């Protein structure tokens, strides 16, 4: 296992409420990522971080924000959850950037917005 | 922008037969190519990657993949399928070059191996 812990693993929330997903790594890797997985879309990058307080947007960043105050923690926040954000969210890490470096994934967080 | 196509939503194969899961890609410059496997309700597990060198890459659990630059393909193969290989398989690509670039995934191919 890649030393990645996601919490919560399962959550049901109501439309309009804020939600924060946490990713904690024990590998001291520089890069951390949040992906979402939806049927027919594969995995799509939401945001990524290349160091403490250094983050950037991915392909599907609207409605999401992230923070990284420590190397080991990367938080994903849905400011006001919508039904379209019902998905499985995966945190991932890599030593360096995506070019040729293997990305390792956590076990996922299942989020349902009702 | 880079992209990955996995033309088959599902591949069915009998146990003991060879299997192939197809992947084609589009990227500027030379590609870095990856295969991941996902079992039900689990995260993605890394299988193998192509960076440079030999076009035939060997990975975990007896899987291998062949890089074909002229056909822009990176098909996943295994000589003899096991029922336990049944899972969702993802191909992914990132381009060579300077600076950071994201890893782009295909939509996935479900592999079903029947006893």
Distance CA B35, CA A103 (A): 11
Identify the pLDDT of residue A98.
Answer: 67
In chain A, the number of structural domains is 1
3-state secondary structure of A85: helix
User: For every one of its 114 residues, what pLDDT tens digit does chain A have, with 9 covering 90 and above?
Assistant: 669 999 999 999 999 999 999 999 999 999 999 999 998 888 999 999 999 999 999 989 999 999 999 999 999 999 999 999 999 999 999 987 767 788 999 999 999 999
CATH code for the domain in which residue B9 is found = 2.60.40.10
> Is the backbone of residue B53 left (phi > 0), alpha (psi -120 to 50) or beta?
left
Identify the pLDDT of residue B11.
Answer: 98
Q: Is B107 close to A99, i.e. CB distance below 8 A?
A: no
Helices vs. strands in chain A: H and E counts, helices first: 0, 11
Tell me whether residue B46 is exposed, middle or buried, using C-beta atoms within 10 angstroms of its C-beta: 0 to 12, 13 to 18, 19 or more. Answer: middle
Distance CA A28, CA A26 (A): 6
Task: Collect the ranges in chain B with pLDDT lower than 50.
Answer: none
* Residue bearing tokens 């992209």: B3
- Rounded to a whole number of angstroms, the distance from the CA of B18 to the nearest CA of chain A is 25
Distance CA B106, CA A63 (A): 23
Nearest-by-CA chain B residue for A31 = B100
Identify the pLDDT of residue A111.
Answer: 98
Full domain range(s) for residue A74: 4-113
Identify the pLDDT of residue B87.
Answer: 97
Q: Which residues of A touch B101 (CB under 8 A)?
A: 97-99
Full domain range(s) for residue B86: 3-114
CATH code for the domain in which residue A96 is found = 2.60.40.10
Distance CA A22, CA A108 (A): 11
ω into residue A8 within 30 of 0, thus cis?
A: yes
Residues contacting residue B41 through CB under 8 Å, at least 6 positions apart: A108
In chain B, the number of structural domains is 1
Which residue from B41, B44, B96 is facing A99, i.e. has the nearest CB? B96
Identify the pLDDT of residue A5.
Answer: 97
Identify the pLDDT of residue B52.
Answer: 85
CB B57 within 8 A of CB B64: yes
Distance CA A3, CA B6 (A): 29
- Find which of B21, B42, B44 to mutate to test the A interface (most A CBs within 10 Å of its CB): B44
Question: What tokens were used for B89?
Answer: 């398989």
């Amino acid at each position: 296992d890649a030393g990645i812990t996601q919490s919560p693993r399962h959550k049901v929330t109501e439309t309009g409420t804020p939600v924060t997903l946490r990713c904690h790594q024990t590998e001291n890797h520089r890069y951390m990522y949040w992906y979402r997985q939806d049927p027919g879309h594969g995995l799509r990058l939401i945001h990524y971080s290349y160091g403490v307080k250094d983050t950037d947007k991915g392909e599907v960043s609207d409605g999401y924000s992230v923070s990284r105050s420590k190397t080991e923690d990367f938080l994903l926040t849905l400011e006001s959850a919508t039904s379209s954000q019902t998905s499985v969210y995966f945190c991932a890490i890599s030593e360096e950037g995506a070019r040729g470096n293997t990305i390792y994934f956590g076990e996922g967080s299942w989020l349902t917005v009702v | 922008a880079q992209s990955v196509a996995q033309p088959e939503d599902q591949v069915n194969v009998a146990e003991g037969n060879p299997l192939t899961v197809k992947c084609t890609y589009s990227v500027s410059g030379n590609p870095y190519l990856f295969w991941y496997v996902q079992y039900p309700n689990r995260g993605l597990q890394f299988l193998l990657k192509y960076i440079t060198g030999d076009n035939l890459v060997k990975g975990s659990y007896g899987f291998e993949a062949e890089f074909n630059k002229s056909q822009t393909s990176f098909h996943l193969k295994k000589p003899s399928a096991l029922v336990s290989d049944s899972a969702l398989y993802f191909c992914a690509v990132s381009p060579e070059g300077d600076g950071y670039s994201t890893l782009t995934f295909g939509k996935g191919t479900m592999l079903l191996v029947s006893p």
